[in-house]
Each structure stands twice: as C-alpha cells, then as structure tokens.
C-alpha cells in the first residue's frame, strides 16, 4: 500500500487507495459556485499544489460552475497521475439563481455521468456519489430508481465505484441492499453531528464517511469552546476542527475546500495537530 506523510495516512475506497487528507474542489469556481474564478491561474496553481503535496483524493461535481471546476481540474492536471482519484457526484443541477435543484431522472443522471467524463477528460469515473435530498439537507424517500440508474452505468463500465451523498441512514441501507457502496458523503463537522451513529456503523463495515462542510462551508465554524481549545494549543480553530475530524473515526476522509494554496498548506499542518483526551472531551461537547 502506498505510504504518505500526510496526516491520517491512507484509506481504501473499494480498490482505490487514497490519502485520508483529500481536497474539496468546490471553492475553485466563482462566487456561490457559479461561473469562472476571479483568478484562473491561481485556481490552477492550487490544483497543482494539491498533487505536489501528495494528496490523491479530489472531490468535485460537474454542478460546480457548472462545469467550471471539472474543466479547471482537467486543465491543471490532465493527464492525471495514476495515484490520483477524482470523486464526483450526480443528482443535482444548477438554476439561473445559483440554486441546486435535484436532477435525478434517469436521463439527468446519464447526462451528468457523460458530462463528468467529458469535462474531466476521463473514460471511466473512479467514484460517483448519488446526490440526494436538496439544499436543506437529506429528505426521506426511496432512492431505488436513481441509484439503479447509476448501477446500470457502472455495469456499462463508465463508473468504478458508487456512493451516496446528502442521504438519510435509511437511504444508505436501501442503497446497500441494491449494490455495494464505498462511501457516504454527508454534512458533518464539530458543531453539526447528526450522523454520529451512521459514522460508527459505516466504520464497522469498512465504508468511508466523507464529511462535507468540514469547516462549516459558507458559514465558518464558530464556537467559544473551539476558540478556547485553539488558543490553548496556539493553533487556529480551522486546524483544531480538522484534527478533531481526522481522529473522530478511522473511516473519515477529509475534503476541506479552499481556493488558496496557503490555506491548503495550513490545513495539512493543522490536521496533524495533536489533541489530548482533555481537548477532545471539551470539543466533543460542542455538537451535543
Ligand atoms: N455532497 C454535497 O452535497 C456537498 C455539498 C457541499 C460541499 N461538498 C464538498 O465538500 C467540500 C468541502 O466543503 P466546502 O468547501 O463547501 O466547505 P468547507 O471545507 O467547510 O469550508 C470551505 C471554506 O473555508 C475556508 N477555508 C479553508 N481553509 C481555511 C483556512 N486555513 N483558514 C481560513 N479559511 C479557510 C475557505 O476559504 P478560502 O477559499 O479562502 O480558503 C472556504 O470559504 C467541497 O469542496 C465539495 O467538494 C459536497
């Protein structure tokens, strides 16, 4: 298994070895994830740095921009190093107002898979997450029809592995009854811990849990307890939040988003921060 000096070591998604410290590419598009970035060359430089630093897991979606983020990834990194694995999503699109309406009819999902292949310049997608729910979070209801559409595209050889995103625990179980999944990507961070039980259950099954908004997303994490622990450790709250997540469970993969190479380097150093039992006990109280 390839080794890494990145904090957290590696994890295997199906048969894909990835660094647990990954990179979330959503912040590379323009404001509110619409249109091109203000600094095109800066965005390409961040992606080059991701690979130079040894990160082998990039999370993206063709809805970012839309298309912009995938095209930047292709421009910066294609042909891709063999070790690099790009994880994408299908199931949501963008509207004129920058909203994220669901797009989970079979034809929407086929289109999304072909668009991802084209914009990333790939013949096979390593991992596609079926993006469920809506911008308010997971919503109950059967995922059978859209998930079976992706399973069919997997059978056709266009997708290696499947996952689900923005999913309830019931939908995760429903997907697993249809076909194997290798990850669940849901919102989770130090202050938002709806999925604690699900994370532990997936860890027992050897399935990755990939928290989105690990730093709070569009509303940065704020908590006096977090600030107190950070001050005591002479670290930033961002560092403490990442270090806490990495130690929360071995199946957690980090995909913090940034449009800044300096933040990327800070976040790697931050995730390596050592937390005492006392620090962790104090942090654990935040989300409960
Ligand atoms: N499945 C889904 O439905 C879904 C939804 C949302 C996101 N995602 C995925 O999850 C990934 C992570 O989520 P996210 O990027 O939205 O949120 P996030 O990682 O929680 O936070 C990103 C924000 O934190 C800032 N930041 C990062 N490092 C920093 C540092 N060291 N100091 C100060 N600020 C820092 C970034 O600003 P700078 O750019 O200035 O660094 C950005 O504004 C996304 O990239 C995307 O791939 C998935």
- pLDDT score for 1: 58
pLDDT above 80 (res 288) = no
Name the residue at shortest CA distance from atom 25 of ligand 1: 258
- CA atoms of 139 and 133, how far apart (whole Å): 5
Active site residues: 64
| Angle between the N-to-C axes of helices 237-248 and 261-271, in degrees from 0 to 180, rounded to the nearest 10 | 50
Q: For strand 183-185 and strand 208-209, is the pairing parallel, antiparallel, or unpaired?
A: parallel
With a 6 Å cutoff on the Cβ, whether 83 touches ligand 1 is no
- Cα 120 to ligand 1 centre (Å): 21
With a 6 Å cutoff on the Cβ, whether 249 touches ligand 1 is no
- Nearest-atom number in ligand 1 for the CA of 24 is 45
Entry pTM = 0.98
Residue 86: CB partners within 8 Å, gap ≥ 6?
A: 58, 60, 73, 80, 120, 122, 125, 126
Average pLDDT over residues 17-44: 98
Quick one: three-class SS letters along 150-193?
Answer: HHHHHHCCCEEEEEEECCCHHHHHHHHHHCCCCEEECECECCEC
Q: Is 56 helix (H, G, I), strand (E, B) or coil?
A: coil
- Tens of pLDDT, residue by residue over 163-209, are 999 999 999 999 999 999 999 999 999 999 999 999 999 999 999 99
Q: Is 241 helix (H, G, I), strand (E, B) or coil?
A: helix
Q: Is 72 left (phi over 0), alpha (psi -120 to 50) or beta?
A: alpha
pLDDT > 70: what percent of the chain? Answer: 99
- Cα 256 to ligand 1 centre (Å): 5
Of 139, 194, 143, 138, the closest CA to residue 166 belongs to 138
- pLDDT score for 204: 98
**Contact status, residue 91 vs residue 124, Cβ threshold 8 Å:** no
- CATH number belonging to domain 10-221+250-258: 3.20.20.100
- Cα 152 to ligand 1 centre (Å): 32
- Cα 44 to ligand 1 centre (Å): 17
For 128, half-sphere exposure in the C-beta direction (CA atoms, 13 angstrom radius) is 30
Residue 234: CB partners within 8 Å, gap ≥ 6?
A: none
With a 6 Å cutoff on the Cβ, whether 27 touches ligand 1 is yes
Q: Where are the domains of the chain?
A: 10-221+250-258
Average pLDDT over residues 225-250: 97
pLDDT above 90 (res 287) = no
With a 6 Å cutoff on the Cβ, whether 214 touches ligand 1 is yes
Residue 281: CB partners within 8 Å, gap ≥ 6?
A: none
With a 6 Å cutoff on the Cβ, whether 230 touches ligand 1 is no
- Tens of pLDDT, residue by residue over 24-34, are 999 999 999 99
């Amino acid at each position: 298994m390839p080794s890494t000096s990145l904090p957290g070591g590696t994890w295997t998604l199906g048969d894909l070895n990835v660094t647990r410290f990954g990179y979330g590419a959503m912040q590379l598009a323009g404001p509110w994830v619409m249109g091109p970035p203000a600094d095109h060359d800066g965005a390409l430089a961040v992606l080059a740095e991701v690979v130079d630093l040894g990160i082998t897991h990039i999370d993206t979606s063709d809805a970012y921009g839309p298309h912009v983020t995938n095209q930047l990834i292709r421009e910066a990194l294609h042909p891709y190093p063999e070790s690099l694995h790009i994880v994408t999503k299908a199931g949501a699109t963008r509207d004129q107002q920058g909203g994220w309406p669901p797009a989970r009819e079979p034809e929407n999902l086929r289109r999304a898979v072909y668009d991802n292949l084209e914009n990333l310049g790939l013949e096979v997608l390593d991992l596609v997450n079926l993006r469920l729910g809506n911008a308010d979070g997971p919503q109950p209801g059967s995922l059978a029809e859209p998930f079976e559409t992706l399973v069919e595209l997997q059978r056709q050889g266009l997708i290696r592995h499947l996952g689900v995103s923005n999913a309830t625990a019931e939908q995760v179980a429903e997907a697993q009854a249809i076909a194997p999944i290798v990850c669940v990507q849901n919102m989770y961070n130090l202050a938002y811990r709806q999925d604690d039980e699900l994370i532990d259950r997936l860890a027992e099954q050897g399935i990755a849990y990939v928290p989105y908004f690990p730093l709070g997303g569009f509303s940065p994490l704020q908590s006096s307890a977090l600030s107190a622990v950070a001050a005591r450790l002479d670290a930033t709250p961002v560092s403490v939040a990442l270090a806490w997540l990495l130690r929360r469970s071995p199946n957690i993969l980090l995909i913090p988003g940034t449009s800044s190479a300096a933040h990327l380097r800070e976040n790697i150093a931050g995730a390596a921060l050592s937390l005492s039992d006392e620090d962790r006990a104090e942090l654990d109280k935040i989300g409960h």
